[in-house]
């Protein structure tokens, strides 16, 4: 069980930061949150970023449709532009238009 006196010793040595208790839920302390892997839906990504596709969700038909367009876990994609929630993305050297609904099913 997590206790308030359970602190990460190395944080003090790395610049004299005040003690930060480790989270009982994630096991990370608050300075680690910028470094651990996060997932977000593709529709929240900023244009110009090259992103790793981590998961493709939805019904089996939707997943098959997205995979046929090139959205495969482990692949990369780049958001070219966004307008009213709809996206134009680059995937496998092609540009594809996605509705906001479909973009929400692709986790990056």
Nearest to 25 by CA among 16, 15, 36: 36
What pLDDT is stored for residue 91 in this prediction?
Answer: 94
SS3 85: coil
Q: How far is CA 44 from CA 4, 7, 14, 61, 90, in A?
A: 35, 34, 33, 23, 15
Q: What is the mean pLDDT of residues 10-19?
A: 46
pTM summary value: 0.65
What is the tens place of the pLDDT at every residue in 71-102? 999 999 999 999 998 999 999 999 999 999 99
Band of the pLDDT at 3, cuts 50, 70, 90? very low
pLDDT for res 49: 86
* Residues 15-66: tens digit of each pLDDT: 444 444 544 444 544 444 555 558 899 999 999 989 999 999 999 999 999 9
Residue 12, pLDDT score:
45
The domain limits of the chain are: 1-35, 42-107
Give the SS3 label for residue 16. coil
Task: Give the CATH fold of the 42-107 domain.
Answer: SH3 type barrels. (2.30.30)
């Amino acid at each position: 069980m997590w206790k308030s006196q359970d602190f990460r010793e190395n944080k003090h040595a790395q610049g004299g930061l005040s003690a930060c208790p480790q989270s009982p839920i994630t096991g990370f302390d608050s300075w680690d949150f910028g470094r651990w892997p996060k997932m977000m839906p593709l529709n929240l990504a900023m244009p110009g970023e090259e992103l790793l596709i981590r998961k493709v969700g939805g019904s089996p038909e939707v997943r098959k449709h997205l995979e046929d367009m090139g959205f495969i876990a482990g692949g990369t994609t780049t958001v070219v532009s966004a307008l009213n929630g709809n996206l134009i993305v680059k995937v496998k050297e092609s540009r594809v238009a996605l509705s906001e609904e479909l973009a929400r099913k692709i986790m990056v």
